[in-house]
Amino acid sequence: MSLLLQVDTLSQATAQIAENVPAKADVPLISIIFSGGPIGIVIMSSIFIMLFFALYLYFERLWAIKAASKVDQNFMTQIKMYLQQGKLENAKMLCAATHSPVARLIEKGISRVGKPLEDINTAIENAGKLEVYKLEKNVNLLATISGAGPMTGFLGTVVGMVMAFHEMAASGSNKIEMSVLAEGIYTAMMTTVVGLIVGIIAYVGYNHLVSLTDKVVNMMEVSVVDFLDLLNDPA
């Protein structure tokens, strides 16, 4: 009987404690992200602006590089046929109608036909540098964002912690509300989390674009070598 009485008393006490503890309301994620005060909002907004530019730069360059990598498989075959027949104007027209870096390099070489092979090669190399520059346009900004995003997040964390400890010192109370301290900490850490996410996205995007650009450059080099071989032995 005594054991049952103790269990019943413990159950009543537990129920009373549960009633006295206020239920924690679900806080929206967006409220947590932008709850760091004016300075925190500015830093978080800067990080989201970096995220927007990182995504824009990635997809813009991705489409441009994908478009540059599309070359008709019969392009070089037709160029060889025109060169063998001496139809240089037809070859130039074909290059002009084919909107790709490879076609522009071949067109540059055809425009130099009749000059020493070294001059033709030099002209193609100069045109190739310009095409590579076009492919890599603004890609370095992704690398910058991949480093600036996490660093900005760390800055927000440091600023948030400084402000939290400043509020603790200014309160002048020996008793510290753990809820207030915890809120300041997770608000400060949120900038680091978002900054790291932005940095990872930009870093992966940058390396992916570099890999695709290398493939296009390799394709350009192969086509140029085939073209120079045609000039050495057009038959």
The answer on 157 and 209 residing in a single domain is yes
The answer on 175 and 204 residing in a single domain is yes
In a domain, 18, yes or no: no
Model pLDDT, residue 52: 94
Assign 3-class secondary structure to 1-41: CHHHHHHHHHHHHHHHHHHHCCCCCCCCHHHHHCCCHHHHH
In a domain, 173, yes or no: yes
In a domain, 15, yes or no: no
The answer on 154 and 39 residing in a single domain is yes
**Sign for the pseudo-dihedral over CA of 134, 135, 138, 143:** negative
Model pLDDT, residue 17: 38
pTM score of the predicted model:
0.74
pLDDT means over runs of 10, the chain (235 residues): 44 46 48 60 86 94 88 80 82 84 86 81 87 88 92 83 70 59 68 90 94 90 83 63
The answer on 162 and 47 residing in a single domain is yes
In a domain, 30, yes or no: no
Model pLDDT, residue 187: 66
Cα–Cα distance measured from residue 114 to residue 128, given in angstroms and rounded to the nearest whole number: 20
The answer on 154 and 202 residing in a single domain is yes
Residue holding tokens 């067109």?
Answer: 107
In a domain, 25, yes or no: no
DSSP secondary structure letters along 36-96? SHHHHHHHHHHHHHHHHHHHHHHHHHHHHHHHHT---TTHHHHHHHHHHHT-HHHHHHHHH
The answer on 206 and 109 residing in a single domain is no
The answer on 143 and 131 residing in a single domain is no
Task: Kindly tell me the burial class for residue 64, based on how many C-beta atoms sit within 10 Å of its own C-beta (0-12, 13-18, 19 or more).
Answer: middle
The answer on 144 and 52 residing in a single domain is yes
If one counts the domains in the chain, the total is 2
In a domain, 52, yes or no: yes
In a domain, 55, yes or no: yes
Model pLDDT, residue 61: 92
Cα 25 to Cα 18, 28, 175, distances in angstroms: 15, 9, 25
Domain that holds residue 167: 35-61+139-214
